[in-house]
Amino acid sequence: MNVLILNASPRPKGNTAMLIDAFKSGLAEDANVVQLNLYEIQPKPCMACNACQTADRCCFSDLDELDMHLRKADLLVWAVPVYNYSVPSPAKAVLDRFQRYYEAMEVRKENLFAKTDRPCILLLSAGRTGLHSVDIIQKQIKTACRYTGFVLHQTVFASNTDKQSVDSAILLSAEEAAKLRI
């Protein structure tokens, strides 16, 4: 099984990293895991250049590796800290750049992905309660999933992490989420 983890946290040892580690510990030993750290990639924002309107391409090449792994992934994991009710800017740039998949499906009527029902897991962490954030981010991820051949299966949410470390029950939920059978 090919697993693609998109880590949208700038903290290598923060709460989102704890969720990722717990998730990875639940994966089968033979899982092929690729983790892309979006703060290291620093994706360029969509410039509305319209390159993707006529062909499966983007005017920027910085997400070519992500695209390659996305196409062959059996499972997609978004690991995201909550920033002002939404996702951090590198994740927002990736979501915006998924315009190329929207253009393929809705405008050119092309399906770029062989499977259209691959599972996606959302790992969320919030320093405070995260009120409303879960719904907002889930809507963004569900839309991205629709155009990339995934379906959001589960969200694991750790809240109030400014006051306490991620609860062990939440870490266990992240580990269990990895045991999804596809």
Measuring CA to CA, which residue among 173, 148, 16, 177 is closest to residue 73?
148
Domain ranges of the chain: 2-177
Rounded to 5 degrees, what angle do the CA atoms 168, 38, 26 make?
Answer: 35
Q: Quick check: 182 pLDDT over 70?
A: no
- The second-level CATH assignment, the architecture, of 2-177 is 3-Layer(aba) Sandwich (3.40)
How much of the chain is in helix, strand and coil states, percent to nearest 5? 40, 20, 40
Mean pLDDT of all residues in 95-122: 93
pLDDT in tens, 145-159: 999 999 999 999 999
pLDDT in tens, 16-27: 999 999 999 999
Q: Quick check: 115 pLDDT over 90?
A: no
